[in-house]
Amino acid sequence: MHAEEKLTYETWPAEPEKSTLEAKNKFLGFWFFLGGETVLFASLFATYLALKDKVPDSTHHLAKDLFELPLTFVATMLLLTSSLTSVYAMYHMKNFNAKKMNLWLVITLLLGAAFLVLEIYEFNHYVHEFHHTFTSSAFGSAFYTLVGFHGGHVAFGLLWITTLIVRNAKRGLDLYNAPKFYVASLYWHFIDVVWVFIFTVVYLMGMVG
Amino acid sequence: MKRLAKWRLISVFAILSLILSGCGEPFLSTLRPAGEVADIQYDLMKLSTLIMVGVILVVMVIFFIVLIKFRRKDEKIPKQVEGSHKLEIIWTTIPILLLLLLAVPTVSATFKLADVSPMDKKDSDALVINVRSNLYWWEFEYPGQKIVTSQDLVVPTDEKVYFNLISSDVKHSFWIPAVGGKLDTNTENVNKFWLEFDSAKAEEAGDLFYGKCAELCGPSHALMDFKVKTMDRDDFDNWVANMKDVKEPAKADTALAQEGQEIFNKSCISCHAVTPTNATPPEARLAPNLSNFGERSRIAGVLDHNEEELKNWIRTPEKYKPGNLMTGKYPELSEDQLDALTEYLMGLKVQE
Amino acid sequence: MSTYAQKKGFGATLWDYLTTVDHKKIAILYLIAGGFFFVVGGLEAVFIRIQLAVPNNDFVSAGLFNEIITMHGTTMIFLAAMPLVFAFMNAVMPLQIGARDVAFPFVNALGFWLFFFGGVFLNLSWFFDGAPDAGWTSYASLAMASKGHGVDFYVLGLQISGIGTLIGGINFLVTIINMRAPGMTYMRMPLFTWSTFVTSALILFAFPPLTVGLVLMMFDRMFGSNFFEASMGGNTVIWEHLFWIFGHPEVYILVLPAFGIFSEIFAMFSRKRLFGYSSMVFATVLIGFLGFMVWAHHMFTTGLGPVANAIFAVATMAIGVPTGIKIFNWLLTMWGGSVKFTTPMHYAVAFIPSFVAGGVTGVMLAAAAADYQYHDTYFVVAHFHYVIVGGVVFAILAGTHLYWPKMFGTMLNETLGKITFWLFFIGFHMTFFIQHFLGLWGMPRRVFTYLPGQGFETSNLISSLGAVFMSLGVIVLLYNVIMTSVKNERVGNDPWGDGRTLEWSLPSPPPFYNFKQLPLVRGLDAYWLEKMEGKKGMTPAEPLGDIHMPNASFLPFVIAFGLFVAAFGALFNMDDKAWSVPVIIIGLLITFGAMFLRSVKDDHGFHIHKEELMEDDNDKGVKA
């Protein structure tokens, strides 16, 4: 099958994300990329754990003073839900339904954006209420770097998926853009999984001390 | 026949001197171990070298047979062999056994060298020395004796000496090659280990071992040497007592030296202390303690200990240790002032 | 296509290389850039040896010396050895598996240009206030204390070139998994392809920790964070861990492809299939795996405690086993073979004792308690030069002679090749063997000078003289390259006559689509099998049909160039220069604009039609 072919609901393959060689390559290559990203975040997690609560003196706040469960819980729920909505989008992609796919992707984007807004609020809160900043201590540097890296990934994902939707709004699905949507959703799931770890390692473990 | 014997004798001497020179200097070389730690390490070196020479021999025998026997002579196509399970098992198992042979003493030595439990015990009479590394100089504090010195480490022989190591600025590494392996001085934590100085071997080395910084630390990394003076326990106790006697800066005895002391008190004393028992917190000691400067073996760790070199050093420290922190910290001195200062510094001695 | 390629002018050729996505041309780019940096790093090495030839020398100042050693290490590892290895991977691996290109030709070009601009950026530090001077390991406390912008050049340059390497690794992985010709099962892949595969996996997992370390250091130096600032709770040992979690696998990233190249050479010039192929594959994978378990042996003296030291010591020794398996398999490949001493074979044969020497000192270093003596001395310098020069550089030189005809269609002169070999071989041992002893006699590494009277004089002089021989060897090689390029005697498919793998079944250099019809692979050493049955070429696995090829693109160059510009802005932002922020923005706009363009503009590539392919055939018929 060629990537440019015009397809219909009937001729649309069961696995449109892997039905050309280019698509197969993209699919596999992206998995490898996520493997590298995993190591990247693992390194950041290790750094964070090594520097957690490492502050110059006792006037600085520690993890247990900073974090609040309700806020991060809402953020977690937003991101988990957005992962689910991106699954719906891919379901419609596989059924050759570009309209519904786009709809679910837009919902995913909105949830992601809401998450990002909460995160910005949270950072702002720490800086102003607790004077816990990027430069105030090694703990601060490690915290903002780890969580900020994740936030940056979310922001990039939002831009990426938006570009995809806008670029392909008129022409509908084909075997050239289907894999692009698919790997974008893979990326989104990955971000979600990383957040689950951040939620556990940074926030939950932070609150118990 | 006689000529042959003579040749033999000469060659024996030649080999002997080659081996001896092959082991390096007694005050510096790891191949002339002068203490328990260096001995353990030397034994490990010998063991691993022995095993490895065995491996090399086996490889080289096969290697040369191949090179000689299997050169291309004709265009015949050799038999295409897939492999041999038997051979593969052999050259997997034997190396594993050889490595086990090395691994066991390695692990036991690693734990032995890290055993610093006596220094943490309450009321232990183990000698502990706090080593603090600074950009291109070393400070040695004896917390039990409450004295501080620098550049020349003074230790008693034939007993375990325990070290706490830390750095004031960037990472350095504390190494007395002939006496034992190195340990890094980190910026964030104290590292601990012990060494032992063998009296017989120390005598061979002139009771003066060379110490080195072994971690790149800036331009003068190569010049961050220190010296280790070894003495028996009695002399050491004596030295400690003498050091402790200096409660306040010693009064200079000649007029010239007194003039020098005045200059020192004006330009130098804000960084350099001249009492071994100084109470400044460790982080605030900015420069080497000079209480027993007149008895040191080197100036700035690398220059010969004489008045000319001392004046050279004070004139342009940057020339002798690039990147040092002394340059520019004091006003320029006239030659007369230098003479006075030198007289004073060379007179700073604690031992009669 | 190939017919009018030869008539192009200089400008057109240049444009062709700036926009190429063809793995064979990218290989040539890697070879040229890597070769250039190899010469730069080599000159730095010569300066080091001049400075250390006599005690108390003042050929260079202390500060400059530290810059030279830092740049020598960084250049040789990141900008010479890796790209040169990448050159052969690009040139040969797709041919060996019977593919028409790599999986992501665009990404392949992007990877090269990122490496190139990262390398150029790093080296430009010489022309701004000084190169990095904290050693190639750039330990955090010293790097943080380093004045000027040297370390910033290091941090930014390596990030850019590191991304290039990472995407190159992903590319090779996918290529090997998805694009093998019919019949090319995993256990029929040539060993060089296998080592490319394992190496790429190592790159994928080893480079992210380095990137994180570099980012943290960048944050500390540029934005006032406190990762490595002990007084603010920071910890410099984190840098050591991150660096060596990358740094140790890096050694295997370099040496495994070297093993791969030598495996090909031993089999070819012994006219025998590789002895114990499956155990060789297994050993390669095992070395790659263990490579990640041993990083802390670089930190035995950091004070991690006896438990960590003992564990890492034993794990490190374990690597000796698969490496030993390889050595014996190579020896047994030659055993009973018909060994021809071509230039590549000279290097391969010399590699065995040289690398064994480096390997056994590696095991000695693994003995943690004894390593307290070796660590950071010239013993270590000798050890890793035995491994990296005796292993990797020998392999690169061997590969250059071996694959030159495949890449350029003409042979390097064999006599000159052997002269290069002997000069380099003698010089190498002369330079580095004595350094083992210097280390044991108490000479620390990275010293800009040494005082007389410590017994270091004669040995250092010998070592410096060795460097002269190595330099002469490289000069002869350069002369060889120029001479044979001028003569340009064209060669056929299998110029060595002993080719075993698929690349030798193709013309030299191969057409830009590599295989007109994908070959059918019937076993290990696919081409050899066909030759032994008296056939001239491979049996095709498919009928002649249209071939889909990617379009050339200038965007990879532009994307990398944008980052290069932005990095300059970021660097001078530290000095509060007014123009720095606009420069960052312009650079990032270039990069992201080009990425955006790539993303919204469909690129379906083009097709070479059956008829054109048949014409190509006729063309050749006429020429021949």
pLDDT at C595 exceeding the cut of 60: yes
**What is the per-residue pLDDT across C152-162, written as a single tens digit (0 to 9) for each?**
999 999 999 99
Q: How far apart, in whole angstroms, are the C-alpha atoms of residue B197 and residue B92?
A: 42
Weakest mean pLDDT among B4-13, B117-126, C605-614 = B4-13
**What is the per-residue pLDDT across A23-44, written as a single tens digit (0 to 9) for each?**
999 999 999 999 999 999 999 9
Predicted pLDDT at B282: 85
Tokens of B242: 């003498």
Q: Which residues does A contribute to its contact with C (CB < 8 Å)?
A: 3-4, 21, 24-25, 28-29, 32-33, 35-37, 39-40, 43-44, 46-47, 50-51, 54-56, 134-135, 137-142, 145, 163, 167, 176
Compute the average pLDDT of residues C548-572: 94
- State how far residue C209 is from chain A, nearest Cα, in angstroms: 6
Predicted pLDDT at C603: 84
pLDDT at C623 exceeding the cut of 50: no
Predicted pLDDT at B352: 64
Specify if A30 maps to a domain: yes
Q: How far apart, in whole angstroms, are the C-alpha atoms of residue A163 and residue C484?
A: 51
Q: Which residues contact C334 (CB under 8 A, 6 or more apart)?
A: B66, B70, C266, C270, C272
Compute the average pLDDT of residues B9-13: 68
pLDDT at B350 exceeding the cut of 70: yes
pLDDT at B351 exceeding the cut of 90: no
Q: How far apart, in whole angstroms, are the C-alpha atoms of residue C157 and residue C136?
A: 13
Predicted pLDDT at B4: 61
pLDDT at C2 exceeding the cut of 50: no
Question: Per-residue confidence at C563, pLDDT binned at 50, 70, 90?
Answer: very high
- State how far residue C456 is from chain B, nearest Cα, in angstroms: 9
pTM: 0.94
Question: Per-residue confidence at C430, pLDDT binned at 50, 70, 90?
Answer: very high
Which among A3, A50, A141 has the least Cβ separation from residue C226? A141
Predicted pLDDT at C622: 38
Predicted pLDDT at B183: 96
Neighbours of chain B (3+ CB pairs under 8 A): C
Phi, psi for residue A77 in degrees, rounded to 5: -60, -45
Would you call C481 an interface residue with chain A, using a CB distance cutoff of 8 Å?
no
Specify if A136 maps to a domain: yes
Which among C65, C230, C310 has the least Cβ separation from residue B187? C230
Phi, psi for residue B48 in degrees, rounded to 5: -65, -35
Predicted pLDDT at C9: 84
Predicted pLDDT at C3: 42
B contact residues 66-95, partner C, Cβ 8 Å cutoff: 66-67, 70-74, 76-84, 87-88, 91-92, 95
Helix (H) or strand (E) segment spanning residue C488: none
**What is the per-residue pLDDT across A109-167, written as a single tens digit (0 to 9) for each?**
999 999 999 999 999 999 999 999 999 999 999 999 999 999 999 999 999 999 999 98
In residues, how long is chain C? 624
Residues in chain C within 8 Å Cβ distance of A40:
208-209, 211-212
- State how far residue C35 is from chain A, nearest Cα, in angstroms: 29
* Contact call for C178 and A167, based on CB within 8 A: no
Tokens of C59: 């050929």
Q: How far apart, in whole angstroms, are the C-alpha atoms of residue B234 and residue C64?
A: 47
Among C23, C97, C100, C170, most A C-beta atoms within 10 A, so best to mutate, is C170
Predicted pLDDT at B302: 92
pLDDT at C620 exceeding the cut of 50: no
Answer left, alpha or beta for residue C553, where phi above 0 means left and psi between -120 and 50 means alpha: beta
pLDDT at C267 exceeding the cut of 80: yes
Specify if A4 maps to a domain: no
**What is the per-residue pLDDT across C342-365, written as a single tens digit (0 to 9) for each?**
999 999 999 999 999 999 999 999
* Domain definitions of chain C by residue range: 2-542
Tokens of A122: 């949270």
Question: Per-residue confidence at C1, pLDDT binned at 50, 70, 90?
Answer: very low
* Contact call for B171 and C141, based on CB within 8 A: yes
C contact residues 253-312, partner B, Cβ 8 Å cutoff: 270-273, 275-279, 301-303, 305-306, 309-310
Compute the average pLDDT of residues B189-194: 95
Angle of CA points C343, C346, C349, to nearest 5°: 150
Predicted pLDDT at C621: 40
Predicted pLDDT at B75: 87
State the DSSP code for C504.
G
Question: Per-residue confidence at C611, pLDDT binned at 50, 70, 90?
Answer: confident
**What is the per-residue pLDDT across C73-103, written as a single tens digit (0 to 9) for each?**
999 999 999 999 999 999 999 999 999 999 9
Weakest mean pLDDT among B107-116, B247-256, C124-133 = B247-256
Handedness of CA B135, B136, B140, B146 (dihedral sign): negative
**What is the per-residue pLDDT across B295-323, written as a single tens digit (0 to 9) for each?**
999 999 999 999 999 999 999 999 999 99
Please name the fold of domain C2-542.
Cytochrome C Oxidase; Chain A (1.20.210)
Give the rounded distance of the alpha carbon of C541 from its chain centre: 33
pLDDT at A1 exceeding the cut of 60: no
pLDDT at B164 exceeding the cut of 80: yes
Amino acid identity of C519? P
Would you call B297 an interface residue with chain C, using a CB distance cutoff of 8 Å?
no
Compute the average pLDDT of residues C210-223: 95
More confident residue, C210 or B9: C210
* Domains and their CATH numbers in chain B: 22-64+88-230 (2.60.40.420), 255-346 (2.60.40.420)
More confident residue, C64 or C612: C64
Specify if A11 maps to a domain: no
Predicted pLDDT at C512: 93
pLDDT at B20 exceeding the cut of 80: no
Weakest mean pLDDT among A54-58, B72-76, B250-254, C240-244 = B250-254
Q: How many domains does chain A have?
A: 1
Highest mean pLDDT, choosing among B160-174, B278-292, C567-581: B160-174
Question: Per-residue confidence at B14, pLDDT binned at 50, 70, 90?
Answer: low
Q: In which domain, by residue range, is A189 found? A: 16-54+64-208
Percent of chain C with pLDDT over 70: 97
Q: How far apart, in whole angstroms, are the C-alpha atoms of residue C137 and residue A172?
A: 51
Q: Give the CATH number of the domain where residue A95 resides.
A: 1.20.120.80
**What is the per-residue pLDDT across C371-409, written as a single tens digit (0 to 9) for each?**
999 999 999 999 999 999 999 999 999 999 999 999 999
Q: What do you get for the CA distance between the two ends of chain C, in Å?
A: 17
**What is the per-residue pLDDT across B275-292, written as a single tens digit (0 to 9) for each?**
888 778 888 889 999 999
pLDDT at C412 exceeding the cut of 60: yes
Question: Per-residue confidence at B22, pLDDT binned at 50, 70, 90?
Answer: confident
Q: Which residues contact C346 (CB under 8 A, 6 or more apart)?
A: C398, C417, C418, C421, C425
Which among B72, B111, B212 has the least Cβ separation from residue C339? B72
